[in-house]
Every structure is written in structure tokens, then in C-alpha cells.
Amino acid sequence: MKPNFKRGVISLVIYGLLLLSAAGFFQYIATQSTPEKLASQGYVYPKTSDTKTSSKTTFAVKAIYRIKDTKYGKAPFVMADDKSLLATEAKPDLPIIKKLEEAQEKGTLATNPITIMGEVKELSSVPFQNTRNSLEKQEPGVTDNKEFEIKKLDLTSVANVESTGTTMTALTALTGVAFLAYAVFRYASNKRFYDQLLVTFPELGQDDQALRKGATYYEKHLGVYVYKDQLIVMGRKNAIVDLRDIIYSYVYKETRRFNLYKTVKFVVYLHTKDFKRLAVFPAKHTVKDTEAKLNRLMEYLDASYPQMLVGFDHKDEYMALKQAAGRP
């Protein structure tokens, strides 16, 4: 028998690499959606990048003013560059607003403007009818020689896009790394399994077909073999079980539904003489074929091991044995 350490590993590596590639793509998309990128394309307010659903622009903020004298629910802000004042609304706890106000408090905003990006939308001037007067009271002279406009620059959507892009990149990359880490674990697990198998049955290492030739029962697609009273499983999980110690066995079929998507999983449960339950996971195959092959395995066990109760319908008999042995 030729050990196959890569069994179940290659697909994990492929999935991991695909996910890391997707993470790189998400990161690239995120870099194409930055204020700096949009500004480099010439879209600086009042020029906008228009699509059917949005009208994006950038604005190099050199000063920000939070209008205090207002009865309007959301906080009005006025942002200034060299030529204009742009009145807008935003939540005060928005990260970009905090960043702008912190930079202004440190005195760095005027000399190192922060470029913001947003969707420009028309906004009724009613809520902001006193904004200019309030600003002039707060900051005398700030409106001199500057064009004053009232627009809705929707910064929240931009912040969400940036946050979503970062989150998607991080989650996808972490999932990809997890797949690769599991591939390493699976490779090591396969190696330990084959080492154990060849120590237990050294003759298997002398002939690539020794296991299949010597098996009294085998299902290649499920990775299930019965060899010298040992159930050898090379499936979703590797296992070697002494069938002489098993007194009760059955196949469990688990079906899960996720909206229109359905998954089916098969597990073979084996109960030992000391009433321990072992779970064996065959390799994945088509549902119909897997069920048929596992039923044949149960028929084989029933015919070959008289001490074994085969089938879930023997549960009461097994529980009676367990109770008689004083096991809870």
C-alpha cells in the first residue's frame, strides 16, 4: 500500500489559495475607491463622478466647523477648502468627522488637508437656513471671499464602503489562511495514520494492492475497508477500529437545509463493549450511492460479527445491555 499523505489536502490548499486571491482582489478594489484615487482622476468638488446611482466627489478639507446654534436633529457641519465652504450633515461620531476635528484641534488640518469622499445630493436649505449666520457668529470672517453652498455630502456611505472592504478583505484572508492551516493539519494527520497502519500491519507496506487484496470487505469510493477484523476508514477522518470490540453499530444520516441549499452527512456510529461510542466518517460521495454502500456495510457486519447489534432499531436492546452493566 502506497501512503497518500496528500489525501484531502490538495482541495484545501486550492480553496485556501483561491480565498487569498479573492482577498487580494477585494483589497485592490478598496484601493480603487479611496478619496485620493478619485481626486487623482480629477473629481474634486464641484466636479463629480456621475453614475446612474450616485454622484461622487472629493473635497480637500482644511477646516471643519460644527454648527452649535441649531435646532436641527442631525449636526450640521461646514467644511472649508481654499475657495469654498460646503455645508452638510453628518453624525458627530462618524470616524471621518472625528478624524477631521482631531486634526483641527492639533492644528495640522490647515497645512495638511484631509481629502474626503462622498456622494453629493441635493439637500433642502430649510434645515440650514440659519447655518451661514450661525457660522459667522461662531467664526467671524470665515465666510469672507468664499463661496457658500448647501449640499448633502453623504459621508456615511463612503465610510461603510471602506469599512466593508476592509472587513471583507480581512475575513476572506483569514478564512484562506484557516484552509491552508487545516491542510497542514490534515497532511500531518494522514502521515500519523499511515505510520500507525504500517506499524500495525507491516505487510501492507510491501504491496500497493495488499490492503484491497486482503480486505474481506471494501468500498473504494467511501475509503472503507475491513482487514483482519479491523475497520479501516480513510475518509473525512481516518480511523482504525477493532470490530471484535463492537457490540452495536448503525448509520446516521443528517440532513440540513439552508434556504434552498441542502447538505447530507453520513456518520457510522460504533459502540464498544465498554459502552463507548465511536464516530466514523466515510469519504464523501453521492448521497444515493453513499447510503446504498453503507447499508451494504451494515449487512456485512451483521453477517460477519454475531455479537454485534446492527441497525438503529436495536437501540432498546443495546440500552438494556448498558443498563444491565450498570452504565448510565
Rg of the chain's alpha carbons, rounded to an integer? 34
Which residue type does 243 have? L
Q: How far apart are CA 320 and CA 229, in angstroms?
A: 26
Give the Cα separation of 162 and 281 in Å (integer). 42
3-state DSSP assignment of residue 25: helix
Walk along the chain (328 residues) and give the pLDDT tens digit of each residue.
566 777 778 888 999 999 999 988 887 776 666 777 777 778 777 777 766 556 777 888 888 888 775 555 556 777 777 777 777 777 777 788 888 889 989 999 988 988 888 777 665 555 555 677 777 777 787 777 667 666 666 665 555 555 666 778 889 999 999 999 999 998 998 888 888 888 888 888 877 788 888 899 988 888 899 999 999 998 888 889 999 999 999 999 888 887 777 788 889 999 999 999 999 888 877 888 888 999 999 999 999 999 999 999 999 999 999 998 888 7
Distance CA 328, CA 326 (A): 7
Any residues with CB less than 8 A from the CB of 157 and at least 6 apart, and which? 118, 119
> Domain ranges in the chain?
40-154, 215-324
Three-class SS state of 144: coil
Q: How far apart are alpha carbons 37 and 89 in whole angstroms? A: 24
Q: Within a 10 A sphere around the Cβ of 257, how many other Cβ atoms?
A: 8
Per CATH, which fold does 215-324 belong to? PH-domain like (2.30.29)
